[in-house]
Amino acid sequence: MTASLHFDGHFDFKKDPLEHFDFLISEAKKHITKDHNAMALATCSKDGTPSVRTVLFKGMVRGGFSFYTNYDSQKSHELLETKKAAALFFWAPLEEQIRIEGVVEKLTREESEAYFKTRARLSQIGAWASEQSHRIAHFDDLQQKVHDLEHRFKGQDVPCPPNWGGFRLVPLRMEFWFGRSGRLHERYVYERASVQDAWKTYMKSP
């Protein structure tokens, strides 16, 4: 791998990690043509079974990485059980990645409803139609539900479903990874015991 596009041995630990994140994701938006905000989200069940999927990061909310989902989904059940999650941003063309581990909590109902209003209408209807993570007999059944809901909400705004909303992942650990030739990658870590504590910083061997 060649050198990262944005950093070449000049990482500043004096800056808050969210400052670095803001810069990197804004730069990724310039270079990644689709879903620069895609974020792999890892959760774990009470019995220790891990699960991972891709969600879309929707901005920082009160110091946490926000994303939205159906509260009846597998990921939501696991998030509410453990209150913990890990996330990963990986931008292959830039040879950069950011790992995040921390604690999770629901966004307020007002925050979820405000974001829901910004979604495309079909996505709003889809939030009502999909029983996320649950089995369905046939895709046609889902399409019929969408058709019925389009008729139900015709001529009116689509309200936010009561079982749909956001979470925020508040980081306790963040690692910034920059690709280097010869696999001599640079890894910079911020770590704290709780959200009230100051960050401790260190580098890791590739």
Which residues form the catalytic set?
Answer: 183
Compute the distance between CA of residue 8 and CA of residue 10 in angstroms, rounded to an integer.
Answer: 6
What is the Cβ-side half-sphere exposure of residue 62, based on CA atoms within 13 angstroms?
A: 11
Of 117, 118, 128, give the one whose Cα is nearest residue 153: 128
**How many angstroms separate the Cα of 48 from the Cα of each of 42, 44, 137?**
12, 6, 29
**How many angstroms separate the Cα of 117 from the Cα of each of 2, 14, 86, 93, 125?**
42, 38, 27, 33, 12
**How many angstroms separate the Cα of 139 from the Cα of each of 129, 144, 195?**
12, 9, 43
